[in-house]
Amino acid sequence: MESEIGKVLLTAEEIQAKIKELGATISQDYQGKNLLVVGILKGAVIFMSDLVREIKVPLALDFMAVSSYGTSTESSGVVRIMKDLERSVEETHILIVEDIIDTGLTLKYLVENLIARGPLSVKVCTLLDKPSRRKVEVAPDYNGFSIPDEFVVGYGLDFSERFRHLPYIGVLKPEAYSK
Ligand code: 5GP
């Protein structure tokens, strides 16, 4: 384990087992449907790449990058699209893949923005949910784990761009923030 990680919240094995379950459910729900999986950069990349390999129906991939104004650990709700989808989305069912839903501000903006483009449906799959922190009403259609109000890193989630490559999810030691 990395020396700056104080505690492992979810092991690599727990994450992979959950992704198999999510993939099976999503495969059933999207049978015969034109599915576009939209990963939200950068945090969702690791989760998305494991998840799509457990989805057994045809699908296409695309990505969006958004930046929310605020500090590194608090989002403000004002969202800017830094990278958009490559194609229009009429006739497609969109599945947004997120790393974590915290206040819900980013996701609410994204869902509303994508619905306005006229797809057949928009659903959300998140690896992690922190329901206690919600500021706006938004709920994932597929959720890996509900976690307590702690700042987590690993498996795509960063602190100042570090720790994304860890195969597990952990909580930083307090001293890691002061570096
Ligand atoms: P929201 O708009 O729901 O407050 O924030 C969503 C984004 O904030 C996530 O996609 C993620 O980038 C970041 N975020 C929220 N909570 C955490 C956390 O515990 N750890 C990390 N590394 N990022 C988080």
Tens of pLDDT, residue by residue over 88-128, are 999 999 999 999 999 999 999 999 999 999 999 999 999 99
**Is 162 a domain residue?**
no
Q: Is 10 in the pocket of ligand 1 (CB under 6 A)?
A: no
**Is 3 a domain residue?**
no
Mutual angle of helices 12-29 and 45-52, in 10-degree steps = 60
How high is the pLDDT of residue 79?
Answer: 86
Q: Is 105 in the pocket of ligand 1 (CB under 6 A)?
A: yes
How far is the C-alpha of 149 from the C-alpha of 37, rounded, in Å?
Answer: 28
**Number of independent structural domains in the chain:** 1
**Is 80 a domain residue?**
yes
Residue environment code for 13-33, b if the CB has 16+ CB neighbours within 10 A, otherwise e = eebeebbeebbeebeebbeee
Evaluate whether 71 touches 44 at the Cβ level (below 8 Å): no
Q: Assess whether pLDDT exceeds 90 at residue 74.
A: no
Q: Assess whether pLDDT exceeds 90 at residue 76.
A: no
**Is 62 a domain residue?**
yes
Q: Is 56 helix (H, G, I), strand (E, B) or coil?
A: coil
Nearest protein Cα to ligand 1, atom 12: 43
Q: What is the arithmetic mean of pLDDT over 9-23?
A: 98
Question: Which range is least confidently modeled, 21-25, 32-36, 133-137, 140-144?
Answer: 133-137
Q: Is 99 in the pocket of ligand 1 (CB under 6 A)?
A: yes
How far is the C-alpha of 20 from the C-alpha of 48, rounded, in Å?
Answer: 12
**Is 133 a domain residue?**
yes
**Is 170 a domain residue?**
no
Q: How confident is the model at residue 66 (pLDDT cuts 50, 70, 90)?
A: very high
Q: Which residue out of 63, 102, 125, 130 has the highest number of ligand 1 atoms within 8 Å of its CB and is therefore the one to mutate?
A: 102
First vs last C-alpha separation in the chain: 19
Q: 79 lies in which domain range?
A: 13-147
Three-state helix/strand/coil letters over 109-172: HHHHHHHCCCCCEEEEEEEEECHHHCCCCCCCCEEEEECCCCCEEECCECECCECCCCCCEEEE
How high is the pLDDT of residue 73?
Answer: 58
**Is 47 a domain residue?**
yes
Q: What is the arithmetic mean of pLDDT over 9-29?
A: 98
Q: Is 75 in the pocket of ligand 1 (CB under 6 A)?
A: yes
Q: Which residue out of 157, 161, 165 has the highest number of ligand 1 atoms within 8 Å of its CB and is therefore the one to mutate?
A: 157
State the chain's mean pLDDT as an integer: 93
**Is 2 a domain residue?**
no
Nearest protein Cα to ligand 1, atom 10: 100
Residue type, 43: G
The DSSP symbol for 87 reads S
Q: Assess whether pLDDT exceeds 80 at residue 75.
A: no
Q: How confident is the model at residue 177 (pLDDT cuts 50, 70, 90)?
A: confident
Q: How confident is the model at residue 179 (pLDDT cuts 50, 70, 90)?
A: low
CATH number, residue 24: 3.40.50.2020
Q: What is the pTM of this model?
A: 0.94
Tell me if residue 102 is catalytic.
yes
For residue 100, the CA-to-ligand 1 centroid distance in Å is 6
Q: Element (H or E) spanning 8, and its range?
A: strand 5-10
How high is the pLDDT of residue 65?
Answer: 96
User: Around Cβ 76, how many Cβ atoms within 10 Å?
Assistant: 12
Q: Assess whether pLDDT exceeds 90 at residue 41.
A: yes
